[in-house]
Amino acid sequence: MQKQEKIVSMFDNIAPTYDTANRVMSMGVDKSWRRKACDMAYEFSANDTLDKIVDIACGTGDMMEYWRSRAEVNGIAIGEIVGVDPSVGMVDVARKKYPLFNYHIASATDIPLKDASADILSITYGIRNVVQREDALKEFNRVLKKDGLVVILEFMKNENPSSLGKIMNFYTNKILPKVGGFISKNLEAYEYLPNSIESFSTVKNMQNELVAAGFEMLYTKSFSMDISTLLIAKKL
């Protein structure tokens, strides 16, 4: 639990500069990944009315806004969009940016929502920061309705990178931390990023963990030389 608290404290510290650093480091390409995640989830859901979408590790709220804006494009009505994050600093920024959404300061393993209350639950670039991942996946299952969808976007460990993948690994390990550290004035936080990716799960292991937690895999897609991976699974 001490490790989890340290991660939360780190995100509290970088919250004011988080958005700027992310846009610079990703060169905005994460926007297309997020749009794809929302559009695919809405396609799999096949409902034009959803009661609740929950974004875990919501950070500064950007994924919640993608859920809202892509729902408009897809002609889907959403009753409520809820953000959950243990970092007070991150949620403070999110509330200022997107005051119409609802927020909870809570961990991924203890979500303050009723059983079977959400149609879609997402976690974008946050699951690798959850120390007790198996418990979190079971909690996601609890909160989702039957046939509800869990949507994960994450930087996965690539065991067999291509030549281009090796170049991207160099960029991620050597260049990104310096850029993020310069913008945030917190080099340690952005050195954590490549280290957390390297020590994280492979795509296959993540799929197996979702199945073990009571989900059926529906869709897996890696983007941009396997930098980012989208997984969508359905609660059985």
Structural domains present in the chain: 2-9+27-160+201-235 (3.40.50.150)
How confident is the model at residue 173, as a pLDDT?
61
| Predicted model pTM | 0.83
Please give the Cα distance from 209 to 203 (Å, whole number): 10
CA dihedral 8→12→13→15, nearest 10 degrees, is: 130
- Per-residue pLDDT of the chain (236 residues), as tens digits, is 577 777 667 666 666 666 666 655 555 677 888 999 999 999 999 899 999 999 999 999 999 999 999 999 999 999 999 999 999 998 999 999 999 999 999 999 999 999 999 999 999 988 888 889 999 999 999 999 999 999 999 877 655 555 555 655 655 665 666 665 566 566 666 665 656 556 567 889 999 999 999 999 999 998 766 677 899 999 99
Start-end of H helices in the chain: 2-14, 18-26, 30-45, 62-74, 88-97, 133-143, 163-170, 176-184, 187-198, 203-212
